[in-house]
A = this chain, B = another copy of it.
Amino acid sequence: MVGFFCLSRGETMTNELDGLLSQRTASMRRNRIREILNVVSRPGMISLAGGIPAPESFPIEELYRINETVLDRFGARALQYDLTEGFTPFREALAGFLKKKGIKCSAEQLLVFNGSQSVLDTLGKILITPGDIIALESPSYLGAISAFSAYQPNYISIETDDGGIVPEALDRALEEHPVKFVYLAPTFQNPTGRSLSVERRRQIAEIIRKRNSLVVEDDPYSDLRFRGEALPALYTFAPENTVYVSTVSKIFAPGLRLGFSLAPPLIHEWLYTAKQGADLHSNTYAQALATEYIAGGYIDRQLPKIIELYRPRQEAMLAAMDEHLPADYHWTKPEGGMFIWVEGPDGVDAEDLYWKAVERSVAFVPGKYFYIDPSHGLPTMRLNFTRADEATLKSAISTLGSVINGLGAD
């Protein structure tokens, strides 16, 4: 069971080289979700804990051909040092892809990073002076907190409800605190799966503009829509005050580590400068693969396949939850994404449930880990539905139901 909790600093600080460490290491924390995955890799475990695409969603067969096309078309260029901004054909392909989603931009406005995690890290680097305040929706994506924390900010949590962040609460927070930026995932948020309505997007954009604030819009999941109508990016309502961040991880392959930013000019320029010092540029070959995947039309065939893989999984999980979870448990029913958020009644500690469920080979993430204040969210859980098939998900939810109901056996 080692590896589940954040390794405490005390354990790591016992070496005579200690004087070497920077002050900022004191604020770094390990991503506990990734730590939990160590436990989850136990044989036979059904994991609802990850946030990981199904391996069968990857276009493996197509990649034989995509690789050949990349080598034929780009040759040595795909293997050479390249621009810090990103491989130009990839940024052009991305700009075209974003246009179809209603986001108008030129290739020059995009910067390519090693996954959207690296955009978040670099934003922290250029924006956060120690002690600066960042506003987060509560609960929030843990990876963003890991990225920002290295730069020693303070956080304030903004109230959310079933519709996501509450605009009035955001307005009040910006009134009361000198907030450096607001970090939001408006569509199929991790961990809750919630989406902001068009009306809330408008209100939030207006608040951000009115207060001349900056919002970081993290958008990894919006293409994984199973039902309902596409929602316009927050960016489209306030492009001068929004850093739009996205990735090809959920629509192509996360192992390629390709994320990107679309930012106001000043932020864009400093992201560029910081990235140049941090890693020169992102993997040219991976960008060339993604260029061909998008520009070669593969994405238009693959994305519907990915959605048709995940939609029945989510439906199966939601149906099993109706059947097996008690009446005083509530959960989100997102129109897409990768997660369902469960809230039990007061008094439940989902970490207790976690350990009991793990004993019976079902894992999930206790929701409290997504809160800045670890005393919050005790009865909550994040369930992922992308990694297992329908029958397995049904069985896992049945087990979870029996654990919740305190039964000893299935």
- Name A residues whose Cβ lies closer than 8 Å to a Cβ of B: 12, 15-18, 20-25, 28-31, 34, 52-53, 55-56, 58, 60, 63-64, 67-68, 71, 75-82, 84, 113-115, 117-118, 121, 125-129, 132, 143, 146-147, 149-151, 180-181, 212, 214, 249, 253-257, 264-267, 269-270, 273-274, 276-286, 289
Contacts and interface: CB of A to CB of B under 8 A. Distances in A.
B56 A266 contact: no
Is chain A's binding surface mostly helix, strand, loop or mixed? helix
A285 B282 contact: no
Contacts of A212: 16-17
A224 B151 CA distance: 38
Contacts of A284: 255-257
B80 A255 contact: yes
Contact of A255 (B67, B121, B257, B285): B285
A280 to B, nearest CB: 5
B60 A64 contact: no
B22 A151 contact: yes
Contacts of A78: 255
Contact of A34 (B23, B270, B276): B276
Contacts of A64: 67-68, 71
Contact of A128 (B17, B22, B114, B214): B22
A80 B60 contact: no
A259 to B, nearest CB: 9
A226 to B, nearest CB: 22
A82 to B, nearest CB: 6
Contacts of A255: 78-82, 283-285
A21 B281 CA distance: 22
Given A30-B273, A115-B279, A15 B265 contact: yes
A156 to B, nearest CB: 17
A76 to B, nearest CB: 3
B63 A76 contact: no
Contacts of A129: 22-24
Contacts of A15: 264-266
B79 A21 contact: no
B60 A79 contact: yes
Contact of A277 (B12, B82, B146, B181): B146
B253 A285 contact: yes
Nearest to A51: B81
In the A-B complex, the 10 residue pairs with the closest CB atoms: A255-B284, A55-B76, A79-B253, A146-B277, A67-B67, A118-B279, A15-B266, A121-B278, A79-B255, A114-B279
